[in-house]
Amino acid sequence: MRAVVQRVNSARVTVDDRLVGAIELGLLVYVGITHGDGAGDTAYVANKIAGLRVFPDADGRLSRSVRDISGAVLLVSQFTLYGDCRRGRRPSFDRAAAPDVAKAVYEGLAGAVRGLGVPVRLGEFQAHMTVASSNDGPVTLLIDSGREF
């Protein structure tokens, strides 16, 4: 499982001009699911999302998590995080999990983050989404449950 985590002042997802999910201060998280992702991957990524200390304290040091600031997470599925661009000009998505499998893992991740006390809003799985965000910092981090980076 891979995640791109961005600290945001606000973020929103629309599908066909319909608001699907929105948050104010918190984390916008794009998540990709690969073959074999399971409970261990979900727990690892959920704990990272909930516990990353990327928000400033009174001294300006990054020492507070999304839980500490009473923020929220906007979780957006993005199979293209497993796009392989090493050969040719068209990415291969062979490492992305099949939609039915990925959806269950994605929903499990949302539940796991909620279980850690963080409000979660979702994008719309397998839809063409428009994502708008006001990045803060910017602070952008990569998480990979396979520890590939």
Does 80 participate in catalysis according to the annotation? yes
Does 78 participate in catalysis according to the annotation? yes
Does 79 participate in catalysis according to the annotation? yes
Rg (CA), the chain: 15
Out of 80, 126, 130, 140, the active site residue is 80
Rounded CA-CA distance 126/16 in Å is 13
Out of 6, 34, 42, 78, the active site residue is 78
Out of 34, 79, 140, 149, the active site residue is 79
Q: Token digits for 129?
A: 């989404």
Rounded CA-CA distance 35/53 in Å is 29
Contact 138, 7 (CB under 8 A): yes
Rounded CA-CA distance 24/75 in Å is 13
Q: Which residues are catalytic?
A: 78-80
